[in-house]
Amino acid sequence: MATPSAQYSVTLRVELPHGGVLSKVTAAISRAGGAIVAVDTVEASGDSTVREITVECTSPQHRGEVITAVQAVRQARVLEITDRTFEVHRGGKLHTGLNHPIKTRDDLSMAYTPGVARVCMAIAENRQKAFKYTIKGNTVAVVSDGTAVLGLGDIGPEAAMPVMEGKAMLFKEFADVDAFPICLATKDVDEIVETVKRISPTFGGINLEDISSPRCFEIEQRLVEELDIPVFHDDQHGTAIVTLAALINACRLTGRRLSDLSVCMVGAGAAGVAVAKILMQAGVTRIVACDRFGAIHREREDYVAGKMNAPKRWLAENTNHECRAGKPSDVIEGTDLFIGLSGPGIISARDLQKMNPEPFVFAMANPEPEVRPEEAAPYVRVMATGRSDYPNQINNVLAFPGVFRGALDVRAERITDEMKLAAARGIAEVVGDDELDEDYIVPSVFNRDVVHAVAEAVAQEALRSGTARATTPPEARRPAAVA
């Protein structure tokens, strides 16, 4: 049975007469399977009391069952029903603030006319000064067209806004990066590229998000080539960075080498291609990638006929050199690592018995992984998922805040493959030798050491490679809340 979760929590405002009715209400909630989080008194009068009862449920349907159970209690009158998740989003999750309040005539003359003209002219003479004297130096645009939002698909730019706002919250909370959600009313590749180019003077970096494959590859590549600020498609590279970090520590735990691993990967979209690339850059040489038609290779009919899209063609040409064919349950035989970036039910626990001894299984489909950890446990040495309610959550929030923090700190022109590798090593190193365990190969998303480690690793690699435009140490450039 599913576990009650805050995402499906509800607050019921209920008027109850004195004399034991509250106990009947709480018993009804428990019988319905709800988990009571809090019971608070709002108002007490002579004959009755108004209470707010907060309950976690397992699904929208279950939430309705809990409400019905409360409404069925005699003498209990439900006054108001509040969906707590929707309340978090009411009015949006972001707001703007001022670094310098405007309280006097002098404040106004310096922040706006006439004093602002001097700053404008200084930037006109040297546009790089915008990083110092505007929000540009600490600001990222979170850009989406709403075509691949979570597991919801093409739901449009307005419906994508809550996710982009959430992303902006994570940037601010974990790395003190100011981020703006920008959802575009176009799916045209040229229009998206042109729009981002036109707004780029305002931003120090561009985070692309939830853009469908294969369009996302072209959009990112063109923007990387045409802009002089970092461009990062998080669905690709954030997933890849954290996957590599988890794998580094799984190998560290078991004494294996990346170069010795054989990998079966299911999922040939944006994340799949990026994961394959970063693993190969880190030393993995044997990868068989699969899509819904099976293993991808150069002899497959759609490759020979020229019908594969560009990302899958890359996988066909650069992985599965033995041209292994078949379903994931076939090609998983003799592998050390399974990576799932697809959906539930792709493999069974029995299939894991075909893998080499003590395998790693990273089943990252969310909310339902490719194979459930409870079923996989007898056959797996290290298990990771994309879910927060299991150990070893492979979550992009471990990567993107620190990646941009480091890049902004040194005014990097781009985020290179070497910077991504450095970020993965930075995440892995946060887990100390005395902490490393089968259930702890990646740090918690709330571990505040992660963003510092990633930012430092990325910044140092940018300085080493000459990608950075700043010459002062990263610590000197970092905002006070992050330093």
Active site residue 307: no
The torsion defined by the Cα of 62, 68, 73 and 77, in degrees rounded to 10, comes to 120
Please tell me the distance from the alpha carbon of residue 461 to that of residue 419, in angstroms, as a whole number. 6
> What's phi and psi for 334, nearest 5 deg?
80, 15
Instruction: Give residue 368's identity as a one-letter amino acid code.
Output: E
* CB 452 within 8 Å of CB 402: yes
Of 448, 391, 402, residue with least CA distance to 425: 402
Residue identified by tokens 């600001």 is 139
What are the contacts of 275-279 at 24+ separation with CB within 8 A?
A: 275/239, 275/240, 275/243, 275/244, 275/339, 275/341, 276/315, 276/318, 276/319, 277/240, 277/417, 278/237, 278/240, 278/241, 278/243, 278/244, 278/417, 278/420, 278/421, 278/424, 279/240, 279/243, 279/244, 279/247
Active site residue 379: no
Of 194, 184, 193, residue with least CA distance to 142: 184
- Residue 190 to residues 222, 230, 263, 433: CA-CA distances in angstroms? 10, 19, 36, 48
> Which candidate in 93, 132, 136, 167 is catalytic?
167
Provide the annotated active-site residues.
112, 167
